[in-house]
């Protein structure tokens, strides 16, 4: 059990506490100094509560607020077994900011002009709990349309033809159909294209240029296991395709994508009818985040953490100059850097993009792993030496094929809500955090970073 203090510091003649921990029965509070207090022993968990002050239900606007399915507003608290969660009852001096005016029975509360900051760890934990509740109570059908068009490639297609189709259709990945097994058995991704180019350009014989016309995708997948599978090739071959069921809740789907370090996951029909293609659609982090943002915006007043600056939240990858800790090193590249080095960074760090900066570290552009598909247009990759291509040249090819694009940025003082809203826009996969005047790159926040933070 944990000692948890509840306080109502905003005046009144009498006050009681009601909460999910009391079965919503009134629990009288004592007046200590200028505020009403009560100390309860509670097991760890998340609880909702309200105050009954002079016969009127009230909530503390300086604490997390949630709204239930019936529209009822309550405060919410996370009780944990940590020392700083144990609050002794103390005598407090009256504060001029804490008073209550009475006008014909209507309570008017004057809250402190600068409310005390809630413990950030508790605030984050409560927010994550609410996010999980939203995702747990919704399924994939709340994110993807019941009927939609999805591209599927036959695993027997030649590698060259498969990548040409991916480029023409603007696909970063595509499911592979195995006619022999009668099901989806894998995914062809941009990373496969990069690995093929590396082998071709470094004269390690896997596929020759002429063989790309005939060599099948399935054969390439087997060759990739031999070269990149290490000593555990057999285990990799046995690993089934990562997928989810259409009956899975959104939290389980998001965790599947995050934990397997993939960009999307096939959704298989859970129906016992196995006739036809079992694939329903692909679940992606952008779709899940967009749905979640729409839910959070229905009651933004209940999520005070959304107004916190991202500089105070453990999210993203940051430069050492900011003094913030990150799980990985923030890499940047220059325009004159070899493209192959940039691609190696992306594959080694298992990230999807890298900021391109000038000599002062100011942002010029972003090179994304999916940009490599521009080399598939008209078989450009067969006419270049990858080792000699610079990042600048690669970006120029990207502009020629797909046109220039906007580089999406944010500031360290941007709020979490602003970051979520930007990343929920279709096509936005990452935000580069910059200094407003110099555009010096301070960090990068990806969709994966955001969802990982939200799920804890």
Nearest to 391 by CA among 343, 428, 346, 453: 343
Nearest to 242 by CA among 270, 282, 271, 206: 282
CA angle 242, 166, 384 (to 5 degrees): 120
Contact present, 285 and 259 (Cβ < 8 Å): no
Q: Mean pLDDT throughout 117-127?
A: 67
Cα dihedral 388→210→376→370 (10° resolution):
-80
Selected residue with higher pLDDT from 242 and 101: 242
Contact present, 432 and 332 (Cβ < 8 Å): no
Residues present in the chain in total: 456
Would you state the pLDDT for residue 274? 56
Indicate if the pLDDT at residue 9 is higher than 80: yes
Would you state the pLDDT for residue 305? 84
> How many other CB atoms sit within 10 Å of the CB of residue 83?
6
Secondary structure (3-state) at 453: helix
Please classify residue 66 by burial: count the beta carbons closer than 10 Å to its beta carbon, then call 0-12 exposed, 13-18 middle and 19+ buried: buried
Nearest to 52 by CA among 67, 74, 33, 78: 74
Would you state the pLDDT for residue 203? 52
Give the mean pLDDT of the chain: 81
Selected residue with higher pLDDT from 226 and 355: 355
Would you state the pLDDT for residue 181? 85
Q: 273 pLDDT band (50/70/90 cuts)?
A: low
Q: What is the DSSP pairing of strand 35-42 with strand 45-53?
A: unpaired
Would you state the pLDDT for residue 406? 85
d(CA 211, CA 208) in angstroms, rounded, equals 5
Q: Mean pLDDT throughout 255-276?
A: 83
- Beta-carbon-side half-sphere exposure of residue 321 (alpha carbons within 13 Å): 12
Q: 100 pLDDT band (50/70/90 cuts)?
A: very low
Alpha helices for 275-408 (secondary structure H): 285-296, 339-349, 391-402
Would you state the pLDDT for residue 98? 33
* Overall pTM > 0.85: no
The packing angle between helices 190-201 and 159-169, to 10°, is: 130
Report phi then psi at 452, rounded to 5.
-60, -40
Which residues, 6 or more positions from 143, have their beta carbon under 8 angstroms from its beta carbon?
Answer: 250, 283, 287, 288, 290, 291
Residue 118 DSSP one-character state:
P
Would you state the pLDDT for residue 225? 66
d(CA 456, CA 124) in angstroms, rounded, equals 9
Alpha-carbon distances, residue 263 vs 37, 143, 222, 239 (angstroms) = 49, 16, 22, 18
Indicate if the pLDDT at residue 442 is higher than 60: yes
Q: 87 pLDDT band (50/70/90 cuts)?
A: very low
Would you state the pLDDT for residue 229? 55
Indicate if the pLDDT at residue 79 is higher than 70: yes
Give tens-digit pLDDT for 399-439: 988 888 889 999 988 999 899 999 988 889 999 999 988 99
Would you state the pLDDT for residue 57? 82
Indicate if the pLDDT at residue 308 is higher than 60: yes
Q: Mean pLDDT throughout 33-49?
A: 89
Secondary structure (3-state) at 13: coil
Contact present, 292 and 395 (Cβ < 8 Å): no
- Of the chain, the end-to-end C-alpha distance in Å amounts to 24
Residues of the chain with pLDDT > 90, as a percent, come to 32
Q: Mean pLDDT throughout 63-86?
A: 73
Would you state the pLDDT for residue 150? 87
Alpha-carbon distances, residue 122 vs 57, 86, 137, 394 (angstroms) = 24, 13, 23, 46
Q: Mean pLDDT throughout 5-25?
A: 88
Contact present, 447 and 289 (Cβ < 8 Å): yes
Q: 82 pLDDT band (50/70/90 cuts)?
A: low
Residue 239 DSSP one-character state:
P
Give tens-digit pLDDT for 148-167: 788 899 999 988 889 889 98
Q: Phi-psi category of 240—alpha, beta or left, where left has phi over 0 and alpha has psi -120 to 50?
A: beta
Would you state the pLDDT for residue 74? 86
Q: Mean pLDDT throughout 301-322?
A: 84
Contact present, 26 and 49 (Cβ < 8 Å): no
Selected residue with higher pLDDT from 56 and 88: 56
> How many other CB atoms sit within 10 Å of the CB of residue 94?
12
Indicate if the pLDDT at residue 371 is higher than 60: yes
Selected residue with higher pLDDT from 57 and 107: 57
Q: Tell me, rounded to whole angstroms, the distance of Cα 179 from its chain centroid.
A: 35
What does the block give as tokens for 375? Answer: 């080399």
Q: Which of 192-201, 322-331, 385-394 has the highest mean predicted lDDT (pLDDT)?
A: 385-394
Residue 82 DSSP one-character state:
-
The residue behind tokens 């007046």 is 31
């Amino acid at each position: 059990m944990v000692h948890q203090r509840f306080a109502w510091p905003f005046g009144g003649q009498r006050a009681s506490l009601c909460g999910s921990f009391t079965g919503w029965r009134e629990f009288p509070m004592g007046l200590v100094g200028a505020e009403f207090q009560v100390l309860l022993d509670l097991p760890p968990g998340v609880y909702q509560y309200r105050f009954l002050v002079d016969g009127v239900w009230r909530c503390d606007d300086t604490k997390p607020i949630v709204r239930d399915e019936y529209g009822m507003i309550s405060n919410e608290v996370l009780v944990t077994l940590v020392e700083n969660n144990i609050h002794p009852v103390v005598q407090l001096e009256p504060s001029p900011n804490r008073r209550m005016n009475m006008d014909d029975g209507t309570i008017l509360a004057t809250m402190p002009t600068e409310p005390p900051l809630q413990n950030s760890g508790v605030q984050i934990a409560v927010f994550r709990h609410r996010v999980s509740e939203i995702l747990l109570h919704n399924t994939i059908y709340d994110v993807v349309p019941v009927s939609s068009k999805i591209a599927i490639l036959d695993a027997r297609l030649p590698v060259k033809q498969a990548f040409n189709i991916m480029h023409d259709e603007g696909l970063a990945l595509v499911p592979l159909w195995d006619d022999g097994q009668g099901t989806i058995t894998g995914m062809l991704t941009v990373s496969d294209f990069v690995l093929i180019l590396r082998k071709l350009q470094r004269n390690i014989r896997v596929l020759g240029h002429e063989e790309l016309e005939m060599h099948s995708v399935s054969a390439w997948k087997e060759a990739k296991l031999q070269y990149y599978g290490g000593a555990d090739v057999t285990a990799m071959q046995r690993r089934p395709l990562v997928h989810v069921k259409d009956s899975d809740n959104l939290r389980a789907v998001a965790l599947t994508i995050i934990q397997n370090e993939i960009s999307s996951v096939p959704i298989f029909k859970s129906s016992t009818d196995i006739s036809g293609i079992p694939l329903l659609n692909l679940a992606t982090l952008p779709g899940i985040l967009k749905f979640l943002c729409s839910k959070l915006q229905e009651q933004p007043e209940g999520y005070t953490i959304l107004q916190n600056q991202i500089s105070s939240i453990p999210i993203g990858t940051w430069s050492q100059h900011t003094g913030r800790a990150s799980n990985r090193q923030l890499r940047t590249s220059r325009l004159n850097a070899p493209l192959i080095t940039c691609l190696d960074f992306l594959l080694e760090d298992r990230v999807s993009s890298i900021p391109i900066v000038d000599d002062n570290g100011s942002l010029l552009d972003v090179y994304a792993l999916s940009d490599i598909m521009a080399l598939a247009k008209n078989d450009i990759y067969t006419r270049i030496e990858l080792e000699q291509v610079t990042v600048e040249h690669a970006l120029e090819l990207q502009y020629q094929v797909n046109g220039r694009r906007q580089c999406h940025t944010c500031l360290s003082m941007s709020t979490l809500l602003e970051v979520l809203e930007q990343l929920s826009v279709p096509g936005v996969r990452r935000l580069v955090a910059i200094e407003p005047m110099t555009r010096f790159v301070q960090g990068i926040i990806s969709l994966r970073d955001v969802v990982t933070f939200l799920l804890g």
